[in-house]
Chain A
Amino acid sequence: MVSVATMRMSEQTAADTQVQPDAAAGAARSLNSPETTARIGSGVPVKASVENFSFYYGDFKALKSISMPVHEKRVTALIGPSGCGKSTLLRTFNRMHDLYPGNRYEGTIRLHPDNTNLLDPAVDPIEVRMRIGMVFQKPNPFPKSIYENVAYGLRIRGERNRSAIDDQVREALRGAALWSEVEHRLHDPATALSGGQQQRLCIARCLATQPEVLLFDEPTSALDPIATASIEELIHELRDKVTILIVTHNMQQAARVSDYTAYMYLGELMEFGETNQIFVNPTRKETEDYITGRFG
């Protein structure tokens, strides 16, 4: 129940960011230059595959038989109007729905190469979350120091070696482009950082444990444009190391950062394809209407 409420809220706040259709299409075009498109190609390995996945909040069927691939070391954006279920789908990947009673999964999400079905009741959600990190809409650093925030994942995995933790914390903060800003105050409280820094800290927190997939749930909707730009840049850098799924309300952002885009509407996957194709030449009328701002 709480999750639904937070999701609704998040979608409302982000709904204010209206889309400029031409700009979005333009951004897509510039990003997806011929080389980029060639690099994406169709031979990209699949990291996770969603097969006939449905999701229920109690009796309400929030997601209806969704099937789509998530390509390895690429950025996949989930877009769609409020209430379309994109956050619900994202949160399924690390079994966040298990935290609340009355939620039910149907179908499978397989994580490759080992073909584990993430939704199998026999699979421990903690094991899933150890492999798949998540960055939330609102930065949620823990009430600890900057250092301890990043070390958190290592500590709960039982890492005791101080120098190993030191190294990984440093690496993670570098990976999240935060190191130079915090290296002299690692032991200050994390809450003293600015919003954008906090969000990068949350990314560093995930990176420290080297997840296979990173989930971003509208990571910039609570940030100002400059902080947003730095997060987008970071996502762009991270795509070489980790598979990324991002929910966004900002169509320009989807066009800027993603390689693949899934357009969802009322719990259904309307269209999935390379971002370039979805933004420039969508096959479905509904997708085009949404992307060009005629609807949504």
Chain B
Amino acid sequence: MQETNSGGAAALVPHGPLSVSDRLAKKALRHFKERLIELLLLGAAFVSVLTTVGIIWVLVSESVNFFGTVSIWSFLTDTMWTPLFAEPRYGILPLLAGTLTTSAVALIVAIPLGTTIAIYLSEFARPTVRELVKPFLELLGGIPTIVYGYFALMVVIPMLQLLMPELSGFNMLGAGIVMGIAIIPYVSSLAEDAMRAVPMSMREGSYAMGATRLQTAFRVVFPAALSGILSAYILGISRAVGETMIVAVAAGMQPNFTVNPLEPAQTISAYIVQVALGDLPHGSIGYQSIFAAGLSLMLMTLALNLVGHVVRRRYREAY
């Protein structure tokens, strides 16, 4: 806009201070600067692409070595994961069961609580209350997960043991509950954003029909924001599946093929931690197994992201 204006003004003044070639040179310089900045921005954007590609490359290439020794079939179907045994077996199912069980417990905690918090903050809370509560939620999201892990081990599991005396000191229930608390902020803040993005005119339409705040929140705002809310859930699931420290500390370290949350079990991420701690010699097949485990984890999150993408498109409301 400015450019055309000044250009036009200069053209109207024939005896201006700049000759045509001067002005063209200036333009070329500006053009060069614009290109440079554009390239810098492109480079910044590519950092994330390159990182992802790099990670995939490492995971795949190391996994190829692993799968040279262990067949993909036995990896996917064997029900034992015993890399430290003399006769090691590498079946991902026990780790997968641990991951899914802890995640399920976490989601049972995080989705109802996160959604309730989001509805309250977006539709009911006075601005002053909202400004007070949101920093606390953000703080909850900022607590290091290792702290959560010990919170599960030292506080939540002993409390659960009061209710169920026979519960083991490490179990998926305690770890899952605390993991759920840890991901509440992710779910609630995204879901709240989605609901606040619903235009006021839609709420007014509902109120004008004589609806209460509760009816408006549940019958109009929630369905209108459904695509964003489901994205929030899927992000929550991704976080739960990939969450490491809480389960490593509190869920136990033995691979255990079970979906009973009262039992201890190891998750994929916790196994990777265990190997990283140095239990297995570098370069051994056991060591390489972490890449296969990592690849499985990444494929799961990738699948979740794809589902999220489809869901967003499917339930998006045009308003």
* Most A C-beta atoms less than 10 A away, residue of B209, B211, B215, B226: B209
Q: Are A191 and B317 in contact (CB under 8 A)?
A: yes
B54 proximal to A (CB < 8 A)? no
Interface majority SS on A: helix, strand, loop or mixed?
helix
- Contacts A96-B204, A140-B204 given; 15 further ones with Cβ under 8 A? A6-B200, A6-B201, A96-B208, A129-B208, A140-B201, A140-B202, A142-B223, A143-B202, A143-B220, A143-B226, A152-B219, A156-B211, A156-B212, A157-B210, A209-B210
* Contact residue among A6, A134, A138 (Cβ-Cβ distance under 8 Å from B208): A134
Hey, which chain B residues are within 8 Å of A141, CB to CB?
205
Whether A202 and B205, one on each chain, are in contact in the complex, defined by CB atoms closer than 8 angstroms, is: yes
Asked if A126 contacts B223 (CB within 8 A), the reply is no
Cβ-defined contact, A143 with B317, below 8 A: yes
The answer to whether residues A96 and B201 also contact, given A152-B219, A191-B318 and a CB cut-off of 8 A, is no
Also in contact, A133 and B209, with CB within 8 A (given A2-B200, A99-B204, A152-B219): yes
- Which single member of B201, B208, B215, B223 contacts A143 (CB below 8 Å)? B223
B319 proximal to A (CB < 8 A): yes
Task: Confirm or deny: A105 has a beta carbon within 8 angstroms of a beta carbon on chain B.
Answer: no
Task: State how many angstroms separate the Cβ of A212 from the closest Cβ of chain B.
Answer: 12
For the side of the interface on A, what is the size category? 20 to 34
Measured CA separation A222–B212 after assembly (Å): 28
Asked if B136 CB lies within 8 Å of chain A CBs, one says: no
A136 close to B (CB within 8 Å): yes
CA A130 – CA B318 in complex, angstroms? Answer: 28
Whether A126 pairs with B201 at a CB distance below 8 angstroms is: no
Tell me if B201 and A136 are in contact (CB < 8 A).
yes
A selection of 30 A-B contacts at a CB cut-off of 8 Å is A2-B200, A99-B204, A126-B212, A127-B210, A129-B207, A129-B209, A129-B210, A133-B208, A133-B209, A134-B208, A136-B204, A136-B205, A136-B208, A140-B199, A140-B202, A142-B219, A142-B220, A143-B223, A143-B224, A143-B226, A144-B223, A152-B211, A152-B219, A156-B209, A156-B212, A157-B210, A202-B205, A205-B205, A206-B209, A209-B209
- Asked if A21 lies at the interface with its beta carbon under 8 angstroms from chain B, I say no
Question: Counting CB contacts under 8 A, is B206 at the interface?
Answer: yes
Q: Considering residues A134, A143, A152, A157, which has the most beta carbons from chain B within 10 angstroms of its beta carbon?
A: A143
Complexed CA–CA distance, A164 and B226 (Å): 29
Residues in chain A within 8 A of chain B (CB atoms): 2, 6, 94, 96, 99, 126-127, 129-130, 133-134, 136, 138, 140-144, 152-153, 155-157, 191, 202, 205-206, 209
Interface size class of B (residues with CB under 8 A): 20 to 34
The CA-CA distance from A155 to B224 in the complex, in Å, is: 18
Query: Cβ of A209: which chain B residues have Cβ within 8 Å of it?
Result: 209-210
Within 8 A of A (CB), among B284-319: 317-319
How distant is A89 from chain B, measured CB to nearest CB, in Å? 16
Q: Which residues from chain A contact B209 at a C-beta distance below 8 Å?
A: 129, 133, 152-153, 156, 205-206, 209
Residue of A nearest to B318 (CB): A191
Interfacial chain A residues near B219, Cβ < 8 Å:
142, 152, 155-156
Chain A residues with Cβ below 8 Å from B207 are 96, 99, 129
Query: What residues on B are CB-neighbors of A99 within 8 Å?
Result: 203-204, 207
- Give the CA-CA distance A191 to B223 in the complex, in Å: 13
Task: Establish whether residues B215 and A142, one from each chain, have CB atoms under 8 Å apart when the complex forms.
Answer: no
Question: From residue B18, how far is it (CB to closest CB) to chain A in Å?
Answer: 41
The answer to whether B210 touches A130, judged by C-beta atoms less than 8 angstroms apart, is yes
Which residue from chain A places its CB closest to the CB of B202 in the assembled complex? A140
**Inter-chain contact A142/B206, CB cutoff 8 Å:** yes
Query: Nearest chain A CB to B316's CB is how many angstroms away?
Result: 10
| Interface core residue of B200, B215, B318 (most chain A CB under 10 Å) | B200
**Contact residues in A for B201 (Cβ distance below 8 Å):** 6, 136, 138, 140
CB distance from A135 to the nearest CB of B (A): 9
